[in-house]
Structure 1
């Protein structure tokens, strides 16, 4: 089996920690939610479950896991963008810098997730 890269482990750990955080303390993520999105708490829980499923899938090398993980990152990108744009006027420079650094960070996370090893397809005899 292909050896897992450091980047793959970074995604697994980040998604595991973040996923648990979303489920244990959803209110901590409420201020990151754009007002135009409905069902804030429900979406926070959903994103936490999705992150944990993605992390578990990458660990288990499920075939769908790399694509699913990239899809999760793409799905949360608009909220991260909204948060970054709206952090500019809040007077908290550290929060604003972190918010803006998160946006380009998603690119290597997507790459590492996409390049994560998966189990080879089983080919039935005679196929």
Structure 2
């Protein structure tokens, strides 16, 4: 077991976030399908695939043997889903979070990528 320091706690928080986010892809799939750009085919299948990926990566972050690989996976996943965040902002409706939150989400993605990157070495 790793030492319970700030970096380990940060890792566990990240792992929990991605695991829960992955589960939410199956609990509320319509939310995720709604924010997908129209040029991405098979929305439901892609939501399920990304949900499975987030669950697997989240769980992978919990184990020292798979932590680095899972962290790289999170980095690539965050880059891959960035177009959905841009599309969500561009096609927002009154049902969506406030405009400021959608704008904030875009640079926040870079911080999330950096956070995951800190566990790749």
Which protein has greater RCO, CA pairs closer than 8 Å, 6+ apart? 1
Per the alignment, residue 106 of structure 1 pairs with: 109
8 A Cα contact 2:72 2:120, kept in partner? no
Corresponding residue for residue 115 of structure 1 = 118
TM-score (norm 1): 0.77
Equivalent residue pairs, number: 116
Work out whether residues 69 and 120 of structure 2, in 8 Å CA contact, stay in contact via their aligned partners in 1: no
Point out where structure 2 has 5 or more consecutive residues left out of the alignment. none
Distance 1:101 1:32 in 2: 16
For the pair 1:24 / 2:32, whether they are aligned, the reply is no
Aligned residue for 2:72?
67
> Who wins on radius of gyration, i.e. which is larger?
1
CA shift digits 1:47-85 (9 cap, x unpaired): 111111111111113131111110110110011111112
In the alignment, structure 1 segments of 5+ residues that lack a partner are 119-127
